[in-house]
Amino acid sequence: MGKKLESNFKNMVLVLFTITLISSAAVAYVNSLTAEPIEEAKQAKQVKAIREVIPGKFDNDPMAEAWAEKTPDGGILEFYPAKKEGQLLGTAVKTYTNNGFGGTVWLMVGFNPDGTIANYSVLDHKETPGLGSKMDSWFKPTQKEKSLIERIFGFEVKSVEKQSSVIGKNPETQALAVSKDGGEVDAITAATISSRAFLDAINRAANGLKGSREQTSATTPENKNN
C-alpha cells in the first residue's frame, strides 16, 4: 500500500511538472510571436508623434539620428532631430513626469530651433477621464466658438478667454507654470495636479534640450581650438 501511494505521488509530481513545462513553453512562444508586432506598433506611434509635433516636412530619419540622455532623477529623455536638406526644422523630445495624478505621463514635445514649442502629443497617461485627460488638447490654441446670442444677433460678446496654450512659448524665457503658482498658464479646471505634471514634463524636455545644445556647442572643433 505504501509503495502504491509513493508511486501515485511521483506520477502526480511528474504530470504537474510536465504541464508546467508545456504551459511555460506555450507562453514563451506566444510572447515571441507578439513581441515584434508590439514593438513595431510602438515605433509607429512614436514616428506619428514626431510628425505631429514638428512643423514642416523633414526628409531625414529622426529615429536613426536620435540620442538619449539621463535626467537627474534617473529617467531618460529621447531627442529626435528633424531636418530638411541638412537644415534643422526642429527637435522632438520624448519626455515624462512622475507627478501625474494617476502616475507617469509621457509626452512628445516639438521644439523649433529658437527654443519655442511647436506642438505636443500625449503618448501615455493614466489621468482621470474628463479631467486630467483633457491635457490632450487643453494646452493647445483653441478657437472661440460663437454663442447662440452671437450667432442670432451677429454681435460679439466679450468674455474672458483662458490662457492655457503653451504653443509658441519658450520655456527658457517664459514661466511655464500654472497661474496658481505664479505662472502664465491656466490649469485644467479641477485638475491642477495633472496640469502641474504636464508642465513639469514640458520644462524637463526644454531643460534637457538646452543642456544638450550647450554640451554640443562646447565640444565643437571651433570651440575646442579656442
pLDDT over threshold 80, residue 91: yes
The SS3 of residue 105 is: strand
Please state, in angstroms and as integers, the Cα–Cα distance from residue 44 to each residue in 29, 71, 116, following that order: 24, 25, 26
- Mean pLDDT to the nearest integer, 157-161: 51
- Residues paired with 185 in a beta bridge: 178
Q: Which three cell numbers stand for residue 226?
A: 579656442
**pTM above 0.85?**
no
- Mean pLDDT to the nearest integer, 100-113: 97
- According to the model, what pLDDT value does residue 174 have? 87
- According to the model, what pLDDT value does residue 225 have? 52
- According to the model, what pLDDT value does residue 43 have? 77
| Residue ranges per structural domain of the chain | 1-51, 54-221
pLDDT digit string, tens, across residues 164-221: 999 999 999 987 999 999 998 999 999 999 999 999 999 999 999 998 877 665 554 5
- According to the model, what pLDDT value does residue 175 have? 79
pLDDT over threshold 60, residue 145: no
Res. 155 pLDDT band, cuts 50 70 90: low
Give me the percent of the chain exceeding a pLDDT of 70. 78
Residue pointed to by grid coordinates 526628409 = 59
Alpha-carbon span 110 to 122, nearest angstrom? 12
Query: What phi and psi values does residue 150 have, to the nearest 5 degrees?
Result: -65, -40
